[in-house]
Amino acid sequence: MDAKFVKARINWILQSTIKYQLARFDPTEYTFRDDLQAFLERHANLITGEVLEIGSGMWMWPKQRFSSQSHFRTLDREMYDGTDIVGDVLQLDEGRFTRQGWGLLLTDFRDVRIEWLGDELDPHHYLVSGRK
């Protein structure tokens, strides 16, 4: 399927349902998961002990990669193959998580490290570690 066909199909659906259409379509196959995978590999030494990955969806690479060195669990709003806990993290804390919010959540921990991936003011992933 080429990009022109995909754009035409999407525009037909949008036009027939909500009367809007795309003005620009980016057909690249870039995914942030490549960056996230490299980020996790750079920090692999921190991924030990009890690990909770929030919002893993169907992507089980981190669980498969780090289960041998940690007690790795996943939490998501929906049940997927490999999901350990079903729940909504936003029910725990209104709004979005920030570095400062993670710092407050981990006040009882020592050696706290908060790393992020993406723009510093609007990161799309956090890697947070601490020792109890």
pLDDT digits (tens, 9 = 90+) for 64-101: 999 999 999 999 999 999 999 998 877 767 556 788 88
What was the pLDDT predicted at 95?
58
pTM: 0.62
pLDDT band at 130 (very low <50, low <70, confident <90, very high): confident
Rounded CA-CA distance 111/14 in Å is: 50
Q: Which of 7-11, 18-22, 104-108, 124-128 has the highest mean pLDDT?
A: 104-108
Secondary element (H or E) of residue 124: strand 122-131
Mean pLDDT of the chain: 82
What was the pLDDT predicted at 1?
59
Secondary element (H or E) of residue 51: strand 49-54
Rounded CA-CA distance 84/3 in Å is: 37
**Where do the structural domains in the chain lie, given as residue ranges?**
1-29, 31-131
Amino acid at the residue 75: L
pLDDT band at 31 (very low <50, low <70, confident <90, very high): low
The fraction of the chain above a pLDDT of 70, given in percent, is: 86
Residue with structure tokens 């998580």? 97
